[in-house]
């Protein structure tokens, strides 16, 4: 889909919601904590938000229906994906860092690499006089810098190739130890399985959460061919579907809580939803009582991919954390929200946790393609344990099929019970956390 069409379709729905609300740009921008000019650019199609959270809050402020929320997210995914491909084509070198839980929403910089930057494939050749005394000191320093940069890029490239070639393996105690887990976190890179005829690697590295070895076939990135494959076979060997996981999405601020091993005096105020991942990382926090995940599943091409199901896998289970419990809602602030379409629930207290559709929702399978993504909302609840867990997404397309591991960028999701833990809230206009229930509303 052309970039202007995707962005225009997204902006058209935003404008429709804004106009229907009867609220001015200034009022909406103030409530969304953004500038009026930024909101104008979003609604005019001049810019696509780098993160979906403010878009969803705007839609809820404008009283969007559940079907409109799903359609708005679909259009944002398409507009953002087209923008991402344009930025990737402009840059000759990969980004220096992988993204966080909001990787798909980050804008590509599109900046041209420095003239001295080496290609990702190999370090640049050193000048003939690199090791001689000819030239000035600055010239030698630039040469040395270029060589070191080339070595660093080569090392990173080798590390990536090694990570792709070494699958993470293991079982969760459910008797399926032979199930293969692709390398990498869903939403960062979708990894595919090579054809069955591919030679297995000479050695395998075990996943930290799954100590058992995996001796299955090598994994290759989506859209690339395994070693020795004929030209043009890359697309057939790659995974035709990508998954983006947002482990710190909020169903509503009132329902979201986090456990942290810090006193209230050392805790920052509650964040907005788009800042939740950074807030959690800064405090070493863990989802408390329940965790709400938003999964965006999209095909990588025009072909239809069937999402056959999602399976919950438990990587570890312990006694619940004895930490303080912090509520994200400000007392007295109304909380919206409601059951989304494609909504599922799972109890992590169960011996064999499994997803069940929320009332009124359909169950798997679903179909996706590049122009028709799906969004799934998962509510994982727990009270008696501290649980490490991840998901396995089964897909099929024509004569191909496979399984993708969905986790928190290489780490399991983590959710802990909070029963009996000291609970705190942050009053409006206050300057710190107070014991929950002690705030008197005017």
Could you tell me which of 393, 219, 376 has the C-alpha nearest to residue 305?
393
First to last CA, the chain: 52
Supply the pLDDT for residue 339: 52
Per-residue CA distances from 208 to 135, 184, 200, 383 (Å): 50, 13, 21, 25
Hey, CA dihedral for 366, 367, 372, 373, is it positive or negative?
A: positive
Give the separation between CA 270 and CA 240, rounded to whole angstroms. 38
Confidence of residue 1 (pLDDT cuts 50, 70, 90): low
Q: Kindly compute the dihedral angle of the four CA atoms of residues 268, 270, 276, 279, in this order, to the nearest 10 degrees.
A: 10
Q: pLDDT grade, residue 3 (50/70/90)?
A: low
pLDDT at 429: 77
Three state DSSP letters for the chain: CCHHHHHHHHHHHHHHHHHHHCCCHHHHHHHHCCCHHHHHHHHHCCCCCCCCHHHHHHHHHCCCCHHHHHHHHHHHHHHHHHHHHHHHHHCCCCCCCCCCCCHHHCCCCCCCCCCCCCCCCCCCCCCCCCCCCCCCHHHHHHHHHHHHHHHHHHHHHHHHHHHHHCCECCCCCCCCCCCCECCCCCCCCCEEECCCCCCCCCCCCCECCECCCCCCCCEEECCCCCCCCCCCCHHHHCCCEEEEEECCCCCCHHHCEEEECCCHHHCCCCCCHHHHHHHHHHHCCEEECEEEEEEEEEECCCCCEEEEEEEEEEEEEECCCCCEEEECCCCCCCCCCCCCCCEEEEECCCCCCCCEECCCCCCCCEEEECCECEEEEEEEECCCCEEEEEEEEEEEECCEEEEEEECECCECEEEECCCCCCEEECCCCCCCCEECCCCCCC
Q: Which residue has the higher pLDDT, 105 or 286?
A: 286
Average pLDDT estimate for 156-182:
37
Closest CA to 156 of 181, 125, 128, 119: 119
pLDDT at residue number 50:
84
* Neighbour tally for 434: CB within 10 Å: 14
Among residues 259, 243, 208, the alpha carbon closest in space to that of 101 is found at 243
Mean pLDDT highest for which of 161-170, 207-216, 268-277, 322-331? 268-277
Chain mean position to CA 148: 32
Question: 79 near 44, Cβ under 8 Å?
Answer: no
How many angstroms separate the CA atoms of 17 and 74, rounded?
15
Confidence of residue 203 (pLDDT cuts 50, 70, 90): very low
The mean pLDDT value of the chain amounts to 71
Q: Which of 436, 415, 420, 418 is closest to 330 using CA atoms?
A: 436
pLDDT of amino acid 53 = 81
Longest Cα–Cα distance in the chain: 79
Average pLDDT over residues 193-219: 35
Where is average pLDDT lowest: 9-18, 126-135, 353-362? 126-135
pLDDT at 382 over 70: yes
pLDDT at 422: 95
- Token pair, residue 102, equals 């909001």
Give the pLDDT mean for 405-416: 95
Q: Note whether 62 and 68 are within 8 A (CB).
A: no
Tokens 């994982």 correspond to 380
Residue 291 has pLDDT above 90, yes or no: yes
Range picked from 40-54, 81-95, 197-211, 343-357 for highest mean pLDDT: 343-357
Highest mean pLDDT among 160-164, 169-173, 180-184, 421-425: 421-425
pLDDT bin (cut points 50, 70, 90) of residue 205 is very low
At residue 37, the pLDDT reads 87
pLDDT at 434: 93
Average confidence (pLDDT) over 57-63 = 85
Q: Has residue 242 got a pLDDT over 90?
A: yes
Residue 161 has pLDDT above 80, yes or no: no
Please name every residue paired with 414 in a beta bridge, in sequence order, or none if there are none.
388
Place of tokens 């939403």: 187
Cα–Cα distance between 199 and 215 in angstroms, integer?
A: 11
pLDDT, position 86: 57
Residue 418 scores a pLDDT above 80 = yes
Q: What is the pLDDT of residues 307-327, one digit of tens each?
A: 999 999 999 999 999 999 999
Token pair, residue 330, equals 């400000």
Q: Is the pLDDT of residue 2 over 90?
A: no
Q: Is the pLDDT of residue 414 over 60?
A: yes
pLDDT digits (tens, 9 = 90+) for 107-122: 333 344 444 444 444 4
- Residue 196, pLDDT score: 36
What are residue 391's DSSP bridge partners?
312, 406
Q: What is the pLDDT of residues 313-365, one digit of tens each?
A: 999 999 999 999 999 876 555 455 555 679 999 999 999 999 999 988 999 99
pLDDT of residue 84: 63
Q: Which of 50-54, 143-147, 317-321, 346-350 has the lowest mean pLDDT?
A: 143-147
Please, which pLDDT band fits residue 257 given cuts at 50, 70 and 90? very high
**What does the pLDDT read at residue 6?**
86
Q: Are 129 and 142 in contact (CB under 8 A)?
A: no
**Structural domains in the chain?**
3-90 (1.10.260.40), 241-435 (no CATH)
Average pLDDT, integer, range 268-274: 89
Is residue 153 pLDDT above 70, yes or no? no
- Residue 184 pLDDT more than 50? no
The whole-angstrom distance between residue 88's C-alpha and the CA centroid of its chain comes to: 18
Q: What is the mean pLDDT of residues 220-247?
A: 56
Give residue 392's pLDDT.
97
Sheet holding 356-357, edge to edge: 241-246, 290-299, 374-381, 343-347, 356-357
């Amino acid at each position: 889909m052309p970039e202007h069409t995707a962005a225009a379709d997204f902006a058209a729905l935003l404008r429709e919601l804004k106009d229907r609300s009867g609220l001015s740009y200034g009022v909406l921008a103030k409530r969304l904590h953004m500038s009026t000019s930024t909101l104008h650019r979003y609604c005019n199609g001049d810019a696509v938000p780098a993160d979906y959270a403010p878009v969803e809050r705007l839609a809820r402020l404008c009283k969007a229906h559940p079907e409109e929320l799903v359609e708005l997210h679909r259009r944002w995914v398409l507009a953002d994906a087209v923008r991402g491909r344009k930025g990737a084509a402009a840059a000759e070198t990969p980004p220096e860092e992988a993204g966080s839980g909001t990787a798909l929403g980050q804008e590509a910089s599109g900046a041209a690499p420095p003239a001295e930057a080496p290609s990702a494939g190999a370090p640049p050749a050193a000048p003939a006089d690199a090791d001689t005394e000819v030239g000035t000191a600055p010239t030698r320093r630039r040469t040395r810098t270029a060589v070191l940069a080339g070595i660093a890029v080569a090392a990173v490239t080798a590390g990536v190739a090694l990570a792709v070639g070494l699958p993470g393996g293991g079982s969760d105690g459910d008797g399926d130890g032979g199930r293969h887990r692709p390398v990498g976190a869903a939403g960062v890179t979708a990894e595919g399985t090579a054809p069955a005829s591919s030679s297995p690697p000479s050695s395998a590295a075990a996943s930290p959460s799954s100590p058992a070895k995996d001796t299955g076939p090598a994994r290759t990135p989506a859209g690339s061919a395994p070693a020795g494959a004929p030209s043009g076979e890359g697309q057939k060997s790659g995974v035709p579907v990508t998954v983006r996981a947002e482990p710190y999405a909020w169903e509503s601020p009132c329902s979201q809580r986090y456990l942290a091993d810090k006193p209230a005096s050392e805790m920052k105020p509650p964040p907005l939803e788009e800042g939740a991942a950074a807030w959690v990382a800064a405090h070493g926090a863990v989802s408390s009582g329940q965790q709400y995940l938003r999964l965006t599943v999209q095909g990588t091409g025009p072909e239809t991919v069937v999402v056959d199901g999602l399976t919950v896998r438990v990587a570890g289970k312990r006694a619940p954390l004895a930490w303080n419990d912090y509520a994200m809602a400000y007392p007295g602030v109304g909380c919206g929200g409601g059951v989304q379409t494609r909504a599922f629930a799972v109890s992590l207290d169960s011996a064999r946790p499994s997803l069940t559709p929320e009332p009124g929702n359909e169950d798997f399978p679903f179909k996706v393609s590049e122009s028709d993504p799906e969004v799934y909302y998962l509510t994982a609840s727990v009270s008696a344990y501290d649980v490490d867990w991840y998901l396995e997404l089964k897909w099929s397309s024509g004569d191909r099929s496979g399984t993708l591991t969905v986790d928190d960028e290489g780490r399991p999701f983590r959710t802990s019970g909070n029963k009996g833990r000291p609970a705190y809230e942050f009053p409006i206009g206050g300057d710190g956390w107070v014991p929950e229930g002690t705030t008197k509303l005017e």
